[in-house]
Amino acid sequence: METMNDSISWSWWRLADAEPLDLFTYLRLRSDVFVVEQGCVYPDMDDHDLVAWHLTGTDVSGRLLAAARLLPPGEKYQEPSLGRVIVTPAARGTGAGHLLVDEALRKAAAEYPGHGHRIQAQAYLERFYASHGFEPDGDVYVEDGIAHIDMTLAPG
């Protein structure tokens, strides 16, 4: 499988500023992965989307490869929080996920300097997030039928 590098174009936007077709593609990807692929019936879209920064990564043809949202401090946790992290099936295993997290953490540091970071990681991704400096904070628990673990990243 091809390895990703700087061939992904990153876009940060707010829900209110989204182009309709881009918003549809983004929300469909979230539904396809979190609801359909993972077999998890839960309300993917929530009120956090209204205040979040949304990140999408596309290839040179404009095809969506990766997405995430960044919640500000005080919205869900005291710290900023990255969530709804997705890499499309076609881009998995290419390094796109690492680039996505790097871009999200860069934005978090710029928007919310001096803050750490807290996430609810799916437990099978603990090592992935640990490679970005996150450390487990508590035990594994089940939410919406999926094992999760809270993880934190110290202010940098």
- Boundaries of every domain in the chain: 9-114
- Give phi and psi for 85, each to the nearest 5: -80, 125
CATH number belonging to domain 9-114: 3.40.630.30
Question: The pTM is what?
Answer: 0.91
132, 99 contact by CB (below 8 A): no
Query: Token match 């934190």: residue?
Result: 152
pLDDT, tens digit, for every residue of 74-125?
Answer: 999 999 999 999 999 999 999 999 999 999 999 999 999 999 999 999 999 9
Q: Write the burial class of residue 109 (CB in 10 Å: 0-12 exposed, 13-18 middle, 19+ buried).
A: middle
**pLDDT score of 16 more than 50:** yes
